[in-house]
Structure 1
Amino acid sequence: MFKNIKKPQLSFWQIFNMNVGFLGIQFSFGLQQTAVNPIFLFLGAPEDMLPILNIAGPITGLIVQPLIGAISDKTWSPKFGRRKPFFLIGALIGSICLFAFPLSPALWVAVSLLWILDVGNNMAMEPYRAFVGDKLPEKQLSFGYQMQSLFVGAGILLATASIFLFKDWFGGAEVITKDLNTIPKWLYYSFFIGGFLSIVTVLWSVLKTPEIPPTDEEMVEINKHKALPFKERFLLPFKEIAEAVKTMPKFMWKIAGVYLFQWYALFIYWQYITPLFQKTMDYDLSSAAAQAARMSTTYNTVTMIVALALVPLTLRFGGKKIYALSLIGVGIALFSIPYITDPSMVLIPMVLFGIGWAAMMGIPYTMVSKIVPQNKRGIYMGILNMMIVIPMGIQTLTFGPIYKYLLGGNAVNAILFGGVFFVIAAILALRLKEPKSVIVPE
């Protein structure tokens, strides 16, 4: 049995510096949410193909995140640490892809780069989640993960704000139609900034935050792992993931039910918010993409404002109640957006969306981090992220036909469909039984 490590309480700025890298990682994800699908449309992709073109995220997340988590659990370097080498390499891969993405000359090139970008982002994301759990004592976990939510909001806010600002500043003379199969130049700048931030912010956290060395017992296990033949070391992460899923706490299975509907619906929103504005506001593709960016900027601004405010609320009322109410709020937002045609008024529902996004990015991670073993935190954070990408994978495979044949190829119906799924997710969230204490690893 491993001994629990008594972790020192960290200051506000130590927790802040630890999470700065999320700014760059989430800038990249913000571009994926807001700019990648418009780029696919600019390059000639039909709307009903958007889900399948986004399958890179679910597949790479399903494979990369749990594997990197399992491998990082068995890694230690006195010079580089345990988690930091992985999210630094992931950020570098993502940075290179962001510089290349807007230069894509054809749809197949953009789709291929999305695959590589997703590998990098997922390689950076999973060990970063475990990194925060590794460093913080239990009473600071909620604050640490809500600080992550703040940087999630900040990164996506900067990404989406850059899109519509550059559109206003540099896109006025461009007249872009889908038939031109051309990516507007003003989109380039956002990707170039993202490429810079991806690596620089992660470097900041790497240099500012030392990792906690393994205990003597953990070092024995790490050295045993290093001594194994290559074939056994290669297969071991797969075996550990399978075993971890088999013995996973019941609470995580219930979280999986919530995530199934929550993330399916989020992927619908990100894919079809731009086509929605082409329909409800009669925008051309360029203007619709800019409006979608304004929506994302608004809800991520709210996320930044409320992320840390959720900490005392969850302590007082319980995580599941705040989580469920937040999901209901997102559902209400999606029900209202298709019926608002004023470009300014349609930003109002994004207040509810932003509160929900802050809750989604913090509360479940806090809950799970309290109940998983310290020496398997990487694996279980990877499995938690599998619960995100599996619904996304299901969505990419199923929603194209649903959109085309059941919803009449109408983006309004797609967004309303997403609202229904958020309400279902909220009902399932109310069935969660919150963890009371940390499980001691065996």
Structure 2
Amino acid sequence: MAAKPRLGFWQIWNMCFGFLGIQFGFALQGGFMSRIFQTLGADKDALPLLWIAAPLTGLLVQPIIGYLSDHTWHPLLGRRRPYFLVGAILSSTALIAMPHSSALWMAAGLLWVLDASINISMEPFRALVADKLPEEQRSYGFVLQTLIIGIGTWVASNLPWFVTRLGVSNEAGPGVVPPSVQVAFSIGAFVFLASILVTIFTTREYPPEPVEQHASTEAVDKGFISEIWQAILHMPQQMRAIGLVQFFSWLAFFSMWSMATPGLTEHVFHAPAPDLAAFDTTIPAQAEAFHQANAAFQNAADLTGSYMGYYGLSSMAVALLLSFYAARRPLNRRLVHFVSLTLGGLGFLSMYAVSTPAWLIGSFALVGIAWASILSMPYALLASHIDERKMGLYMGIFNMFIVIPQIVAATLLGPALRHLFGNQAIFGLVISGASLLVGALCLVRVHESPTRAA
């Protein structure tokens, strides 16, 4: 296989730019789906189970899309870009429809569609970095990808708050998602599609060599299910070791996404979602009391999303520093990941002690350090240990270590909070902190090759 040329900053930037839109989708989903669910009447301890569609979808979609993208070659769009485009169109449609859901089952179903569509676009992006960059630039590529993700997280997390400040109403009747959230999701849909198109139009992929193309045809003839299963059974030891770290890392962030809104609105802002059944809205005084309680919750949810955005801003700053460093000298990836997960764990744990909302900025800034590392270091540690001809397949299988812990959390987090922690949602974030600390300790099983450049 011919040596890959080094790419310049703008080439790598354009190649990764589509992740801005992908992260808009993920940030709006992660920051505001629980708010939508609660607005539509969901109990807080039922929220993790309502989220289960997302990881279940990823478990099925990611390995299949990874395999298919390895064996695709379109004369115009190449190997990975057809999946970017299809995923972007479907995701944008789901984002527009989501906040207009009129019932809980509709929102849960649209979450399923949204997450499947985002995964169609996202999974091949990881493989594209490994496809295009030589080994010595891969850490730089994954870190730059993380920088763009950080920008998307921060901006998207603040969209409902910003739209409200522009004069769009942040209030609505019982069971109706406020117009500010509807407008924010529509903006997210536009950014998703536009940023993916930037990558599609500015990035060219290397065509498969004749031997590789022949091997791909043979593999398709043998059947993709068999190959996926064999790849799972014989995955590299490095993948298993990093996968254990990923398990605890993503359990932590799933707990945050599903429980931050109920946990922080209740514990820090003292403005929990009101239970409509507790109010007789036919009585004017009760109707007004519900209106005031709902307005307080929606405003607190806006601020919770805005404070969550600081983990995106922090990850952006960390990624920027790492990109400057990785562009000039090797990174000790394992050490960077250990320190980052430890700081993120402390950030989550500190949220329990926060009494003034502004202190959440510091907590989420620490979480952002972990997020920056989670989005880059595991992939950089893994990329040189897998067959480049099966990069999409193995990246898809590796992402199973992302979705399996989310399924575990979706199934067990609600009962754990209800039976062990008095149904106090803030303990979902305490669990996040403990999980990141365990993940950091699991890095003892991961190997850093001293001969590899960053």
TM above 0.5: yes
Asked if residue 71 in structure 1 is aligned to residue 68 in structure 2, the reply is yes
> What's 1:203 paired with?
197
8 Å Cα contact 1:334-1:419 kept in structure 2? yes
Of residues 233, 238, 251 in structure 1, which corresponds to 2:225?
Answer: 238
Tell me the TM-score normalised to structure 2 length: 0.90
Matched AA of 1:214: P
CA distance in 1, matches of 2:129, 2:331: 24
8 Å Cα contact 2:348-2:364 kept in structure 1? no
Asked if residue 254 in structure 1 is aligned to residue 241 in structure 2, the reply is yes
> What's 2:13 paired with?
16
8 Å Cα contact 1:27-1:159 kept in structure 2? yes
Tell me the TM-score normalised to structure 1 length: 0.92
> What's 2:309 paired with?
297
8 Å Cα contact 1:48-1:403 kept in structure 2? yes
8 Å Cα contact 1:153-1:303 kept in structure 2? yes
CA distance in 2, matches of 1:332, 1:359: 15
Asked if residue 188 in structure 1 is aligned to residue 182 in structure 2, the reply is yes
Of residues 321, 344, 355 in structure 2, which corresponds to 1:341?
Answer: 355
SS in 1 for 2:5: coil
CA distance in 2, matches of 1:103, 1:213: 42
8 Å Cα contact 2:264-2:426 kept in structure 1? no
CA distance in 2, matches of 1:162, 1:101: 15
Aligned CA distance change for structure 1 residues 437 and 210 (closer, same or farther; 3 Å)? farther
Unaligned runs of 5+ in 1: none
CA distance in 2, matches of 1:57, 1:428: 26
8 Å Cα contact 1:306-1:358 kept in structure 2? yes
8 Å Cα contact 1:26-1:155 kept in structure 2? yes
- Range with greater deviation from structure 2 (163-172 or 325-334): 163-172
8 Å Cα contact 2:263-2:427 kept in structure 1? no
8 Å Cα contact 2:170-2:179 kept in structure 1? no
SS in 2 for 1:371: coil
Q: Deviations over 1:88-116 (max 9, x none)?
A: 10111001101111111111111111111
Aligned residues: 425
Q: CA deviation at 1:317?
A: 5.5
CA distance in 1, matches of 2:228, 2:334: 27
Aligned CA distance change for structure 1 residues 239 and 166 (closer, same or farther; 3 Å)? same
> What's 1:282 paired with?
270
8 Å Cα contact 2:169-2:178 kept in structure 1? no
Q: How does 1:2-401 map to 2 (within 5 A)?
A: 4-170=1-167, 174=171, 180-224=174-218, 228=221, 236-280=223-267, 281-283=269-271, 284-311=296-323, 318-401=332-415
What percentage of residue pairs aligned between the two structures are identical? Answer: 36
8 Å Cα contact 1:370-1:437 kept in structure 2? no
8 Å Cα contact 1:276-1:338 kept in structure 2? no
The ranges of structure 1 where at least 4 consecutive aligned residues each deviate by more than 6 angstroms after the TM superposition are none
Unaligned runs of 5+ in 2: 272-295
Q: Deviations over 1:130-152 (max 9, x none)?
A: 11110001111011101110111
Aligned CA distance change for structure 1 residues 78 and 172 (closer, same or farther; 3 Å)? closer
8 Å Cα contact 2:244-2:442 kept in structure 1? yes
Provide the alpha-carbon RMSD of the alignment: 1.7
Aligned CA distance change for structure 1 residues 377 and 437 (closer, same or farther; 3 Å)? farther
Q: Deviations over 1:297-348 (max 9, x none)?
A: 2111111122032246675561111101101101111111121121222211
8 Å Cα contact 2:87-2:121 kept in structure 1? yes
Aligned CA distance change for structure 1 residues 223 and 354 (closer, same or farther; 3 Å)? same
